[in-house]
C-alpha cells in the first residue's frame, strides 16, 4: 500500500462495506511497520455498493453492525500487539451521520459497545450531528476536513455522482489542505468561503493518484511548518 508511509493515521474497512480478516491483518501490519495510528472504518453492510448508498435498517441492527465491525478490528489489532485509536464511519453512513442525529447516535452507541470503545476518538465533520452526538455522549472527537473532495455551500461534500467532486490533481489537494490549515476553511464549489476548523485531513486511499496526493500534501505541510502526528486515544 503505497500511501501508508505518507500518512500518520489510517482508517481500515472492518467487514461492513469491505474488508475481511486477511485484509485487516495485512493493513494493521503495515500500519505497525510505519507507526501509523489505526482506526476502524465501519460502514453499512453493503459490499455490492461499497457502503456508498444509504440503507434503511433498524436502529438496533445498525448499532450492532457498527459494534461488530469495530470489535473485529480491535480484536485483530490486539492479537498483533497493536491498538485501535479512532473510528470514522464510511460513505453513506458518514454522510447521513453528518446530518441525522439519530443515525449518528446509533453509530456512537455501537462504538461504545465495542471493547474499549469509550476511549476511541470519533472523526466527524465540523459542526455535524455526529460530532455533537459524540461529544454529548462523552466521546473524544476530531474534526475532519477532506483534501480530495469538493464542498457544497452548506459545508457538506459534493456528491460523487457530480463531475469534479473528487479532486485528483495534487495541486488542488495541496491548495485545499493549506486553506484548511492557514485560512481556517475552504472555498465551496460556488465560491463561498466555508469556515471549517479541522484537526485532521483526509485523503481517500481509492482516489486516483492517492499516493501522489498524499505525498504532495505532506510536503506542502512540512514547508508550511505544520506538524503532523498520529492519533492518540
**Domains recognised in the chain with CATH numbers:** 4-223 (3.20.20.370)
CB atoms within 10 A of CB 142: 17
pLDDT digits (tens, 9 = 90+) for 69-82: 999 999 999 999 99
What is residue 202's predicted lDDT score, i.e. its pLDDT? Answer: 97
The SS3 assignment for 182 reads helix
pLDDT digits (tens, 9 = 90+) for 153-180: 999 999 999 999 999 999 999 999 999 9
Between 2 and 113, name the one with better pLDDT.
Answer: 113
- Give the confidence band of 149 by pLDDT, cuts at 50, 70, 90: very high
Coil, strand or helix: which one is 224?
coil
Predicted confidence band of residue 51 (pLDDT cuts 50, 70, 90) = confident
**What is the pTM for the complete model shown?**
0.95
CA distance 215 to 44: 30
CB 16, CB 44: distance < 8 Å:
yes
CB-based contact 153:169 (threshold 8 Å): no
In this structure, are residues 221 and 228 in contact, taking their beta carbons and an 8 Å threshold?
A: yes
Return the half-sphere exposure (C-beta side, CA atoms, 13 A cut-off) of residue 15.
18
Confidence of residue 231 (pLDDT cuts 50, 70, 90): confident
DSSP structure string for 26-67: HHHHHHHHTTPEEEEE---S-TTTTT-S-----HHHHHHHHH
C-alpha gyration radius of the chain: 17
pLDDT at position 1 over 90: no
CA 138 to chain centre: 20
Q: Are 126 and 198 in contact (CB under 8 A)?
A: yes
Question: Which pLDDT score, from 0 to 100, does residue 44 have?
Answer: 97
φ, ψ at 89 (rounded to 5°): -65, 155
In angstroms, rounded to a whole number, what is the distance separating the alpha carbons of residues 136 and 62? 20
* pLDDT value at residue 115: 94
The pLDDT assigned to 233 comes to: 62
Q: 53-103 pLDDT, tens per residue?
A: 999 999 999 999 999 999 999 999 999 999 999 999 999 999 999 999 999
Q: How far apart are CA 105 and CA 170, in angstroms?
A: 35
Whether the pLDDT of residue 26 is over 90: the answer is yes
Say yes or no to pLDDT of 227 above 80: yes
Rounded to whole angstroms, the Cα distance separating 129 from 126 reads 9
For the segment 130-143, the average pLDDT, to the nearest whole number, is: 98
Where does the pLDDT of residue 37 fall: very low under 50, low under 70, confident under 90, or very high at 90 and above?
very high
| Assigned C-alpha cell, 187 | 472555498
Helix (H, G, I), strand (E, B) or coil at 205: coil
Burial (CB count within 10 angstroms: exposed 0-12, middle 13-18, buried 19+), residue 168: middle
- Grouping H, G, I as helix, E, B as strand and the rest as coil, residue 12 is strand
Mean residue pLDDT of the chain comes to: 96
Amino acid at each position: 500500500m503505497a500511501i501508508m508511509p505518507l500518512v500518520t493515521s489510517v482508517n481500515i474497512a472492518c467487514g461492513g462495506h469491505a474488508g475481511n480478516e486477511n485484509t485487516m491483518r495485512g493493513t494493521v501490519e503495515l500500519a505497525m511497520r510505519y507507526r501509523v495510528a489505526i482506526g476502524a472504518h465501519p460502514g453499512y453492510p453493503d459490499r455490492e455498493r461499497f457502503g456508498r448508498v444509504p440503507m434503511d435498517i433498524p436502529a438496533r441492527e445498525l448499532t450492532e453492525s457498527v459494534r461488530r465491525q469495530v470489535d473485529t478490528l480491535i480484536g485483530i489489532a490486539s492479537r498483533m500487539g497493536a491498538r485501535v485509536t479512532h473510528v470514522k464511519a464510511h460513505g453513506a453512513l458518514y454522510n447521513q451521520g453528518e446530518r441525522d442525529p439519530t443515525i449518528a447516535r446509533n453509530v456512537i452507541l455501537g462504538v461504545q459497545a465495542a471493547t474499549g470503545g469509550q476511549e476511541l476518538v470519533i472523526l466527524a465533520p465540523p459542526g455535524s450531528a455526529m460530532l455533537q452526538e459524540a461529544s454529548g455522549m462523552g466521546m473524544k472527537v476530531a474534526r475532519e476536513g477532506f483534501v480530495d473532495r469538493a464542498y457544497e455551500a452548506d459545508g457538506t461534500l459534493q456528491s460523487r455522482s457530480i463531475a469534479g467532486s473528487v479532486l485528483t490533481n495534487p495541486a488542488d489537494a495541496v491548495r485545499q489542505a493549506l486553506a484548511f490549515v492557514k485560512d481556517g476553511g475552504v472555498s465551496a464549489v460556488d465560491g463561498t468561503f466555508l469556515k471549517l476548523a479541522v484537526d485532521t485531513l483526509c485523503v481517500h486511499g481509492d482516489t486516483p493518484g492517492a499516493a501522489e496526493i498524499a505525498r504532495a500534501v505532506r510536503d506542502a505541510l512540512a514547508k508550511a511548518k505544520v506538524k503532523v502526528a498520529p492519533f492518540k486515544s
